[in-house]
Structure 1
């Protein structure tokens, strides 16, 4: 599963590379622990064999018990030598220069991601999970539900729509009508925004700002039961603003938009939820293309049940 949340103006690394990097580091750490335990065991067993040998030959004769103890200690020592741990990731997998480069890149990616991450928010909301997904994937709500916080932002064109095996991506143009719109402090009046459905639980909103920078918002919505869901918001940015100031602004903006969402989500929850999963009743308007893609992939009653059951089992 490829997630573009790390990709801000080509500074976010591919998620797949990050996952592999983490696996490599974990494998190396485990290998190191196993190797250290094995090396520590060698002198310990040598001491045991030597101690039994000295004790056995101290009185000039060997009893059956002493022979058995000496044989047992020697057997365990030889067995320990054969138990040398195999390396799950070693220099045979990559050349020395490639290996070092990969490790360096892994550390750089971690530091970069930590630097670009601005805020995290987490909520348990008393609305069905599908209401949140419908809300996130329906572009029209940006003009209606968020009329106040976005100061009458308008969607003027759908530039591109692409499907993937597990979701899709829609690119749309937005315009700030009002010259006094506070959003102008970090974006042009007209920009192309990306909305991406990565999985049935993950949605990304990618917003371009000044000087080829971006603000990336990652939404995770996980069903807890038929009437509640767990909602996570993570925001990343490479804006060169003082980080504490940017974090305060983003926290405020995120809380404001969530406050605006609550009446809308409540109204959706009072409707027939099954109707939202019905492809024949899904809007064909271009602003609803991404939600329609969601319904195509996960909208059958069986798939909808699996989404909930899958979360309950995890």
Structure 2
């Protein structure tokens, strides 16, 4: 390797480090601005409340008190309006695309920005029960009948095996006329379900205007009868992030609560026989589970990570 090559690589490394530091500094400044702005809200509310109580304390409002109330309200509303940005300046998007950030850095930054919530559970059910549940499309209609308000699967529109998993796409319809989801999504949408590894499943749900909610399920077998479930949710929705996080936490907890009786029934049903005979894989809604069986069936049986494998 020539001296120039080494020098170029060293220069590229230094530039990457410098850009990384600049990004971290920019993010720190953004967080600092948002922190100051958030602290200012209760301060202005306290001032507005104090002025209001003082003005109405004697039952008479003078012109000076009206002016003070008006001024305080004006500055409070101005403070709310002047909320700082929550991400890097969108005007720099062209700079990012043109190489201000290397692709890996850009992807990591965007991934971090879109991350909404993380949840972690230890569940007293075999790992295979969770995988069967996640890859069985019909559970959206039956198990989550309440939370999804009678959502129906119309058809399977696409299925593609991959070397270590598979991708299935299916159309869903909001069957109930009073389904609150109708407020922001189309009546019929195409949902993606992806088996990335024997332990990782992705559910990608369109919402509106090409915005999506993506749920990553990761499972970790602990023993023959327990597994750990990690849930990470990402979204590019332009909603206030704290409100969206609260809603997603609630929805995730609700769906998990609905899962528990179903997972218990699978455990009692002796899913090992269902796994070996591959009974449910005859239906197109089980294509992804069938792919899982084809790729990892022997390994799962050898490890005995199923309820009847002891």
TM value normalised by structure 1? 0.64
State how far apart, in whole Å, the 1-side matches of 2:177 and 2:183 are: 11
In the alignment, which of 155, 159, 162 is matched to residue 160 of structure 2?
162
Q: Which residue does the alignment assign to 1:231?
A: 229
> Runs in 1 of length 4+ with deviation above 6 angstroms?
none
Q: Which residue does the alignment assign to 1:177?
A: 175
* 1:284 equivalent in alignment to 2:282: yes
Q: Which residue does the alignment assign to 2:28?
A: none
Contact 2:278–2:290 (CA under 8 A) maintained in structure 1: no
Calculate the aligned-residue CA RMSD, in Å. 2.2
Q: Aligned to 1:211, what secondary structure does the other structure show? A: coil
- Over residues 249-291 of structure 1, what are the superposed CA-to-partner deviations in whole Å (9 max), with x where a residue is unaligned? 1000000000000000011111223213214434301111111
Which protein has the larger Cα radius of gyration, Structure 1 or Structure 2? 1
* 1:305 equivalent in alignment to 2:267: no
Residues 104-119 of structure 1 aligned to structure 2 (within 5 Å): 104-119=102-117
In the alignment, which of 125, 128, 134 is matched to residue 127 of structure 1?
125
| Inter-CA distance 196–186: structure 2 relative to 1 (3 Å threshold) | same
Q: Which residue does the alignment assign to 1:137?
A: 135
**Mind listing any 5+ residue stretches in structure 2 that lack a counterpart?**
1-11, 18-97, 306-310
Q: Would you say how many aligned residue pairs link Structure 1 and Structure 2? A: 213
- Over residues 18-56 of structure 1, what are the superposed CA-to-partner deviations in whole Å (9 max), with x where a residue is unaligned? xxxxxx98xx88xxxxxxxxxxxxxxxxxxxxxxxxxxx
State how far apart, in whole Å, the 2-side matches of 1:143 and 1:228 are: 26
- Over residues 138-170 of structure 1, what are the superposed CA-to-partner deviations in whole Å (9 max), with x where a residue is unaligned? 001110000000000000111011101111111
Residues 155-304 of structure 1 aligned to structure 2 (within 5 Å): 155-300=153-298, 302-304=299-301
Residues 61-76 of structure 1 aligned to structure 2 (within 5 Å): none
**Mind listing any 5+ residue stretches in structure 1 that lack a counterpart?**
1-23, 30-99, 309-314
Q: Aligned to 1:197, what secondary structure does the other structure show? A: strand
| Inter-CA distance 139–280: structure 2 relative to 1 (3 Å threshold) | closer
Contact 1:172–1:193 (CA under 8 A) maintained in structure 2: yes
Q: Aligned to 2:281, what secondary structure does the other structure show? A: coil
State how far apart, in whole Å, the 1-side matches of 2:183 and 2:302 are: 44
Contact 1:279–1:295 (CA under 8 A) maintained in structure 2: no
State how far apart, in whole Å, the 2-side matches of 1:279 and 1:102 are: 54
State how far apart, in whole Å, the 2-side matches of 1:185 and 1:150 are: 13
